[in-house]
Structure 1
């Protein structure tokens, strides 16, 4: 993590979606550094109440909570009124849901974000906002050429193969989810340009770690582990050779905190955030590693590709690491092993071989 200790103010830091996976981890870090934290969350996702209870037990009065919807303009404005800074994590996060309910997806991701931005604009105090965007703003990358190398797709272009997708990649929104998150991403950046609101955007790849509930549509690393631990079938959409750079949530929180600390230098900028090329793995490789960890091969079946699926996405993290002074990302093997242990403990499931030293598969 870059920079010195955060300056602790008297005003609370607002975390929208603060009972969710990444939001609760950000809230935990903030409270641990001495900040008062205002969690604003609709509690609409099953299981997130456990994250909120965990935060309250851990930090007591440092955590305040409002059960509210990001679509509630009055509620959002009230929550933002006294905020020292805002981490905007509240969102509709599933491509599949956006295809079924595109209007709801728009209202949450675009209109809700605009409510928050305008509350900060009219307040006029220069309150920083750090926004959780997504790699889906770059579309399906169908114009790139790939080749199958072992158990994964790799770009044929040497620069992308070595470093991944950079921020210079043109935006190309696909699916209602890609459109809504992309539109919000652009609104956040433009409020820095047009109104001087100090904002920054982190376009995240696949984040995993503790406090992740794991569903088929979001949080797939945890979902795969939960299904494997329970002995249930895992569905892979596509052929399983698709590649993602996965990142431990502690590293993601480091980046969010660094962006806030350095908001005067990074306001109005977007950064790609992920595990980088060292942590780019195929779904098949993850399945093999889960089998090594649990001492049994997961039961896997395949279905057709889903709309907007990318055969490859690895974030080029050179710019975000250099600008924010971030340490190298944690290696995916140890991170996934720790998540498996946490999920097993949380759910009272058998650990398999997880009590033995972490096993690794070849990179």
Structure 2
């Protein structure tokens, strides 16, 4: 960060103090499992009141199995920095190639169809497993026109709807014993792929940290991710935000998934709604994973500031915030990143760095403050 400080100081012709927080955030992306089903829709009769009969189409699997898979290198090296964590497995692809899977591959050997269609009665979901652990579950269906009458041997998932070398995983279809199989579909059969990808975020318990403030000294504190997500408006209503084809809504999910949403868009170096933004507070932010603090008081103008991102470096990305000398002139104890879609909920504490009691820092109006270096590292 030294070079950046010098450059900013030269351009702005003002003193800049550096507040560099050593906490590091992590995301582990694990190869999930696939449940494939070959089947048809069949008509089912059911009663509708006295003497009435209704009809509906139900999915009937005729062949199915479950299998595991690996995540390709490019998922970590190029796809996550472009798209984030949640969108990785948004689209399904199938093909007819028989080459054994390898981490260095980027696409199917011979892709014949790709879909983002979610069948009726199903949904793509982010499933909360435990603090910081989420399963991103996708249900995708290929129609008779796409796969009917074909012999399918390979499959993969991608954040991109267009065919090409943009897969985050690739595998051969396998039976319940792990042996490669050819799925031979009749002309009126469909294929359904149910794929789960697991993401584990850290740290989700308070970690002791030391914060260095150039020209001032060090401060001690605690740092952690929390699951808090706010989509409330100022009138108490709730907004649903779409990320990677999945609805994030704190009303339906409770105080969960905020850390995943924030770090997913952080990895892509972007901003979704008002996530993630940074704010300061003179109060201590919660250091509990499933907290219920909607608005953290003890603030000063401005309400929040957007992150400035550096280009990805390997399997990590950094961000910082430059605070003007006239901004946040007060004594603060907490530095927070928020996960929210609402401009009204300025002070939603999601990713929290809390200075210990007696370790607060007072910013004056003579210096700018460069708050960095927030770092997210991801891998298998």
Give the alignment's TM-score, normalised by structure 2.
Answer: 0.21
Give the alignment's TM-score, normalised by structure 1.
Answer: 0.22
Computing the radius of gyration from Cα coordinates, the structure with the larger value is 2
Which is strand-richer, 1 or 2? 2
